[in-house]
Amino acid sequence: MEILWFVVGVLAMAVGLAASIALHEVGHLVPAKLFGVRVTQYMIGFGKTIVSWRRGETEYGFKAIPLGGYVSMVGMLPPPKDGQAARTASTGLVQQMGQLAHDARAQAAEELTAADEGRQFIQLPVWKRIVIMLGGPFMNLLIALVLMTVLVMTVGTATPTTTVSEVFRCVVTSQEQQSRAEAGQADCRDTDPVAPAHAAGLEPGDTVTSFDGHPVHTWDELSAAIRARADQPTAIEWTRDGQAMSGTLTPRLTERPVTDALGRPERAPDGTAKTEQVGFIGMGSQIENVRGTPLDAVEQVGVQIRGVVDVVLVLPQRLWDTAVAVVTPVERDPNGPMSVVGVGRIAGEAAALEDVPLQDKGALLLSLLASVNIALMVFNLIPLLPLDGGHVAGALWEKLRRGFAKLTGRPDPGPFDLATMLPLTYVVGAAMLAMGVILIVADIVKPIRLF
């Protein structure tokens, strides 16, 4: 039965990813047609066409390799200038790159007809081109917002509360905890200082109601108060089975991991876990699903976007760390990048969890799909071709260049020719392919396990 649920989870995520990719391309297709651009193809996947049909002037279909998709629009590149001939074949690198650019322009020009005048992508105002290219990432953002809103308003968000889930017997640093766990040693030793919560008499199931004389209603309020009272005797009140109890404890100044708004450990650019010296009493918080509003969903999506941006900004270092983890005993960062193989594996493991209600399994899968859409949005906004962000950057550079020419009284330089960026495009494409290979191998050899 566990294997069946694993397969169901993988298939469900595959369908969700395919739908996300299809809708991403719809985000490009719709504004392109609204702006009058002739769209020749809307395809899901790459390689050989499996099935296709034509509606109007656009061919719709599916291709053999379901990894991505594309929308073809006429006039993505300006045609060769009048009188511009193809370069003579040469072994020189610069000459060959120039030939590639010329060939790309010529191929784009072959698709044009007399009726395409005024309907070419390159002839649109810059702002319309930007809207078309941002349509795909915007669709991924919209999908994530819809999924998170559904989850927040129906299932709720896993939220730490002021109810105690566990009480630690001692206080040790996070590094010492990890070292003892790896060595299979006991959590506490006789020489370790007693945890303040344990000394005060707190037990699992107690609910903290006041700290330092101030009522506390949320874990954020209680946690902030504990961190701020390091080495200071502090009054604490709690309830146990409806009975009010109180005591005094002194939070110990201890090194603890830094966490984000979702409770996940934050990491420095080099991949190491961030820590800070704060007050600590040695109690865990009971997690409960708390329903929220659409604004709460927006906040959670914002937090996840920042997390993905942080990863993208140091992506080369994260890929190197992943490659190192494959060939060494070092563990992979659970918040690091992964391939579709890793996403599918996690979806399968989530679906196969025992003693977990079906509703919670569905919520896990929807949350994972929302996270994937956020990653797709951020990654596509990287200002490098062939990504959407590269086209946006090219359009903005054209606007800047033409504006400067107008300001200085120089002739209009015309549209920016993205064909000149083909060498860089090939380099970026090769880097993306290498990244995919590294992550797929890592997800097979040393997968990230969240359950």
State the CB neighbour count (10 A cutoff) for residue 83.
Answer: 5
Statement to judge: residues 143 and 218 lie in one domain: no
pLDDT at position 258 is 73
Residue 412 shares a structural domain with residue 425: yes
H or E, element range at 44: strand 39-55
pLDDT for 68 equals 83
What pLDDT is stored for residue 93 in this prediction?
Answer: 40
Residue 70 in any domain: the answer is no
Ordered per-residue pLDDT tens for the chain, 451 residues: 788 888 999 999 999 999 999 999 999 999 999 999 999 999 998 889 999 999 999 999 999 887 788 899 988 877 666 544 444 444 444 444 445 555 656 666 666 777 778 888 888 999 999 999 999 999 999 999 999 999 999 988 888 899 999 998 888 766 676 777 777 777 788 788 888 999 999 999 999 999 999 999 998 899 899 988 989 999 999 999 999 999 999 998 887 777 665 556 676 665 566 777 888 888 889 988 888 899 999 999 998 999 899 888 888 888 888 898 888 887 787 778 889 999 999 999 989 988 888 888 888 899 999 999 999 999 999 999 889 999 999 999 999 999 999 899 999 888 887 878 888 888 898 999 999 999 999 999 888 887 6
Cβ neighbour number for residue 175 with a 10 Å cutoff:
12
Query: Around Cβ 82, how many Cβ atoms within 10 Å?
Result: 5
Range of the domain at 13: 1-34+124-156+308-451
Q: Are 339 and 369 in the same domain?
A: yes
The pLDDT of residue 215 is 94
Six-digit token pair at 206?
């107690």
- End-to-end Cα separation, the chain, in angstroms: 18
- Same domain membership, residue 234 and residue 146: no
pLDDT at position 65 is 83
Based on the fold, state whether residues 136 and 7 are members of the same structural domain: yes
Look at residue 90 in the predicted model and tell me its pLDDT: 41
Last residue of a domain, one of 290, 325, 355: 290
Q: How far apart are CA 413 and CA 236, in angstroms?
A: 71
Q: Taking Cα atoms as reference points, which of 206, 295, 310 lies closest to residue 264?
A: 310
110 within a domain of the structure (yes/no): no
CATH number at residue 192: 2.30.42.10
Q: Which helix (H) or strand (E) holds 47?
A: strand 39-55
**331 and 212 within one domain:** no
Same domain for 148 and 7: yes
Residue pair 245/239 in contact by the 8 Å Cβ criterion: yes
25 is catalytic: yes
Is pTM beyond 0.85 here? no
- pLDDT (0 to 100) of residue 225: 92
Whether 241 and 223 map to the same domain: the answer is yes
Q: What is the pLDDT of residues 11-47, one digit of tens each?
A: 999 999 999 999 999 999 999 999 999 999 999 988 8
Whether 135 and 194 share a structural domain: no
Residues 215, 178: one domain? yes
Single out the residue in 227, 256, 290 at which a domain terminates: 290
Per the structure, the count of domains in the chain is 2
Q: Which of 2, 25, 59, 166 is catalytic?
A: 25
